[in-house]
Each structure stands twice: as structure tokens, then as C-alpha cells.
A and B are shown apart, each in its own frame.
Chain A
């Protein structure tokens, strides 16, 4: 006979295995009391998560019968986590995505278009900044943001003064930017950079600056109207912007890739005097470098002004329907209300996506946020079919010139050709 404890152990072990193998019915338990539970996913960003907790509590109070559950994943694992949950048949009802990922998600059939009765196209187009059109595809809006971000020039006032420059008149043109960068650069006797006049990191914001900033400033275009063709090289402005962009780490010698590991670290540690970065960095700077004496200015322009905008945006997943869809729509309406947008700016530093909210005097005249908001009317959000790969192509093109001595024109044409290939692949499906 088995000893009793052996039998008991066996039963316990077997039941653990059984439990591990059986599917769990957690999701159905939620609806027992007649409440609708919405799963809301966004990435872990402390200020956003805590603000969202507050907003959810208010929303639940105003809409009895609807519960919202927030789940967060770290930014760099976000797509993997989403991807991992799909085959398991689980996942969010309302999801917060980076706008550059949206085409991939739409292509995979993961999202449904925003319901037009709650979000009529005319309203979106008249109220929101035109850059939200970056997620309009096949004649539908698939997502809607609460807030947007723009790129601007961050500069270190102390280092400006040290170099004999006026900290209250930041560079406004391409020539001035070059000139300032050179004056702010220090190198040792062996030509090694000690202080970079201009942080330069294509893997960070650098590729955005090239596409939505420099190219448009030189009155070029990256994409055709219908977003199917990469027209970057059709106009000499594209190459001009590419060469200007590359001049910082090459001819001008003001910059170096990986200088103090990355642009943000270099700027925070006062090793880089200027950097191009987004409004989302303000919070980091305030936390990590409270004593850093810096200011912000709109991006220097050439023929015209332009900057890059980007945003995290909310969509409803494909399988949500019926009452749940109504609840999800209500939640989205709440998230895009004027009041939430104002609170979003205060809590996270991201700019209101609606023009009437953003362009209020109190924001435009703000010392920190003013330059970002000022930039909104001429901001552009590039339509990505694949953000990661388009970014990598720009990085590779830059590295071929800087590290392998390839002719910039050749590298640029290769970049355009390879990017076109991505668009062809995307649209042929």
C-alpha cells in the first residue's frame, strides 16, 4: 500500500499539473455582476499611469456599470507583450499605441475603425491638429490621441555663456545652428571630442529630425500625397537635408555618435551643449537634472519652419462589440475631452491634441512648453509603415557614410530605394 503522505503528495502534484494545463476562466468572472469591464493597456510611464488611475476612477464614477482595468508594460517590451497575448486570445479592449505602430496593427487586423457617430471625420479634422491624420488609413480614423509631442531645440544656457553666446538668442536658421555648434564644441589636442556642440544620435530623435524637420524645412517631401511613394529623392532638398544632417558628425566635427553613450546622457551631464529632443524629455530633465540650466527653442529652419510631431494614440481592438463597444467609445470620448487634455499636459508634459485647447495663452506663453506648442502648427508626423525598419534604414545610411566613407548621394539613394521597398511590401497586401 501507499503510505498516506505519499498518496497525498501524489494527488497534490497531479492537481497542480492539471491546474496548469486547464484554461482559466478569469475573464468570464468579471461580468457576473452585470458590469462591463474594459481592459485598457498603455506603456509604463509613471506620470501617465498615475494620472490614468485618477481618470479611470472619475470615469467609473460618472459611468456606473463600466469598470476599467489598466495594464502596463515597459515601453521596449510593449509590442512583444501585445503580440504574446494575441495567440492566447486575450488582450485589451482599448489600447494605447505609438502612432508609428498603428499601420502595422491595422494591417494585421488588430484594430477596428473609430465609430463614426461618436467621432465624425469632420469633427476630428476641424478640432484636432492635422498631424493626427497619420493614423487615417483606408478612409478611416483608427485611433485618436489625447496628447501629442513635438521636437524642439534644447540648449544649455551655461555653456552658451561660457562660449560667449547670448543664452537668450538661440539659433534660428541652419547657418546659425552650424555656427553655434562649432563655437560650442571643444576637442583635445588629439582631435577627441571633449564637449559636443550638438548632440547627434540618429537612433534617438535624429531620424525624425531628418525626415520631418530638415527635409521639410528645405521644402522637400518624404512621401507622396497618397503615401505610396517615397519622393524623398525627387527634389534636391532631400539630399541637401541629408548632407546637412551628416555635416555635424563629419565636416563640422561638432558631434559624435554614442558620445557619452547617447544624446540625453550627454546633454544631462553637460557634455553636449545642444540637443534636439521632444517635450516628453522635460520631465526626465526635471527629475534627473534639476540644476541643469537649459532653455528650449523651436527648431531652426531654412526655407520654412517644420518639426516632427509624434503621439501615443488610443484605439479599440477588433473583437470589441455590442455593449462593450459602447463603453469603449464612451471611454475614448472621455479621454479626448478638453478637460482631460489640460490635465494631461500638467501631469505628463504632453501637449493637447486639440488646437483650441493647446493654443490657449497660458500654454503658448509658458517658458518650457511654449516653444513646443508654438511648433505645433507646422509640425508633421511622418506616416510610418514600419517605424523600426525605417529608422534602421536611416541609421544604416548614416553609418555607411560616416564609417565606410560611402558617397552621401549614393547612401541617400540607397536609403530612398530601400524605404520604397518597405512601402511596396506594405501596400501590395
Chain B
């Protein structure tokens, strides 16, 4: 689709742009049209300067910090230590644990989010009454403060909270939920999925609207069952949406696992026993609790490479072109 153009196309385009540029300078004098363009380009350039200063340069600087013994509070020169920080990190059990946890967050969280997003969108796509009402209901969690939601979940899930009341009344044993190193991470993932269903729903609804009705009619004529229609018409044509959702979902999941973990884990820092610790929370702890910017930057670089690899993987594996 539009956003996944082949590289050749893009090359042609940049070549064209270069040719235009030389002639643009030439024609500039006395040409009102090109002066207008200059103004527009200057305006467009400003956000780029901002973006460079706020995002790109600090990102590049992180690579530098990752190779140094950098104490945040120290005003002395920060000595260059090579890959020592990386070695320390890969020998650090807690860091390994946090990577492992992050994988669980992404795999379960993103697939859960996509699955429930599609289900809700399909259901909403079928109904004609109260559409707006249901959309609002499903979208509300997404616009609610993560912190507030986390604390409400804490209360609901505590030892004598409402969920355990229900469980006990049904004859099941009370569960520790957030107090258990085996359950806490899944509870947090569930809360994150619940919160993001609304966003996924909107994406998938837009995707579904774009599927021409005639394809379903044609499938009906061919005698396709509902399941066949879903699997051979809906899913392939939703593919771009799925890829987009998966990539965006992964990145946001890595980011928001911070707020949720900080507010829902029992000790506020990835507990119990680091079972809910994600890489971003650990980076935060390294940088601002232990003041070790070197280690934190090294961990950030690893996270960056990790996201990059994952995104490329998702684009390559998930993207397929379907023509009907």
C-alpha cells in the first residue's frame, strides 16, 4: 500500500528532487512561485531543526555516553571505558531478566491487543444501533490516566479486593495477583491490553470500512462460509492495518510498560523479585536512582537495536501484498 513503497521508487524520487533543486536556485530570482516555495520550505525546515536538536542529537550522544564511565552527579571528566558497560550489563542477572520480561510484555501484550482489537472492531462493524455508544465505552480506557487506572486495579486486585471476593464466593482460593512473582506480570499485561483495546478498535474499524462490500458479495456467490470470508477476505485486506498496529503497538508497549509497572508493581519498581521489571524501568533506575548514565545509556542502545530489529522483522514478515 501507500506507505510501503519499493526502494527503487524512492531513489527515483530523490534524484528528481536533486534536479529540481539546482534548477530551483537558478530560477529563484524574479520568480514569485519559487519564492513562495522557499518560504514554505523554510517553514517546514523549522520542525526539522527542532527534531534534530531534541531527538537525533541526544540519541547520537547516547552512543557516546554508553562507552564512558559516566556518573550523573559528577562534574569531572567522564573516562572512556570501551565496551565495559555492555559487558557489565550482559553479566547482570537483573538486566537479562528485564529483557526477558520485556519480550513477554511485547509478545503477549501486542498479540492480545491485536486480537481483542479485531474482535471488538468486527462486532462493532456488524451492529447498526448504539454504535457511537459502544465506541465511546471501548475508547474511554484509552483516554483515561494510566496512573489512575493502575491504582484502581491495585485496589480491585488486592488480597481482600473485589475480585478475590468473587473468587472466594465461587469456591476458588484467593489469589495474590500483584503480590505473586508468577502472576504479577500477566496482571499488568492484562491491564495494558484492556487500556489499549480502544485505540486498536479505531484502527481496525477504519481498516474494515476500507474493504469493499463487493468482495464479500462475490465470496457469498462463491458459497464461502463466514470463517472463510474472514480468513480469505478480511484478514488479507486488513494486513496493512495489522502491520501498522503491530509496529506501533510494540513501540508503545515498550514505552508504556514504564508507567504501568511503576504504578502497579507492589514496590513501585518492578517487583516482586523483579518479575515485572521491564527494560525501560531498569534504564530509569540505572540512570536516576543509581546515577550511572554510562550503564543506562548502554542499556538504551541495546533497547534501540532491539526495537530496530523487531520493527524490521515485523515489516518483513508481516507485510504481504494482496490484490483482488
Contact = CB atoms under 8 A, between A and B. Distances in A.
Contacts of A105: 73
B74 A110 contact: yes
Contacts of B272: 395, 399, 403
B19 interface: no
A424 B185 CA distance: 33
B267 A395 contact: yes
Most buried by B among A105, A110, A258, A260: A258
A6 interface: yes
A258 B154 CA distance: 9
A192 B75 contact: no
Contacts of B154: 261
Given A104-B291, A192-B164, A258-B159, A396 B273 contact: yes
A83 B73 contact: yes
B75 A260 contact: no
Interface in B6-64: 32, 35, 39, 42-43, 46, 49-50, 53
B159 A203 contact: no
Contacts of A319: 75
B39 A6 contact: yes
Contacts of A86: 72-75
A395 B288 contact: no
Interface stretch (B122-130, B175-183, B199-207, B233-241): B175-183
Interface string A369-396: 0000000000000000010110010011
Contacts of B158: 258-261
A13 B266 CA distance: 47
Interface in B138-171: 151, 154-155, 158-160, 164, 168
Interface string B97-113: 00000000000000000
Contact of B73 (A82, A260, A395, A400): A82
Nearest to A395: B267
A80 interface: yes
B53 to A, nearest CB: 7
B73 A110 contact: yes
Contacts of B311: none
Contact of A403 (B46, B179, B288): B179
B174 interface: yes
B160 A388 contact: no
Contacts of B289: 79, 388-389
Interface residues on B, range: 35 or more
Nearest to A400: B273
B271 interface: yes
Where chain B touches its partner, the secondary structure class is: loop
B181 A403 contact: yes
Interface in A188-231: 190-194, 203
Nearest to A82: B73
B228 interface: no
A83 B72 contact: yes
Nearest to A391: B267
A258 B290 contact: no
Contacts of B75: 86, 109-110, 318-319
Contacts of A122: none
Contacts of B164: 192
A256 interface: yes
Contacts of B82: none
Given A2-B35, A83-B72, A319-B75, A193 B160 contact: yes
A261 B35 CA distance: 64
Contacts of B178: 258
Contacts of A194: 160
A193 B158 CA distance: 11
B181 A399 contact: yes
B314 interface: no
Contacts of A404: 181, 273
10 contacts: A2-B39, A79-B289, A108-B74, A108-B291, A110-B74, A257-B179, A259-B158, A261-B154, A318-B75, A399-B181
Interface of A: 1-2, 6, 10, 13, 17, 21, 79-80, 82-83, 86-87, 104-105, 107-110, 190-194, 203, 256-261, 318-319, 386, 388-389, 392, 395-396, 399-400, 403-404
Given A389-B290, A403-B272, 14 more contacts: A83-B73, A86-B75, A108-B71, A108-B73, A108-B74, A192-B164, A193-B160, A259-B158, A260-B158, A386-B290, A388-B290, A395-B272, A404-B181, A404-B273
Interface of B: 32, 35, 39, 42-43, 46, 49-50, 53, 71-76, 151, 154-155, 158-160, 164, 168, 173-174, 176, 178-181, 266-269, 271-274, 285, 287-291
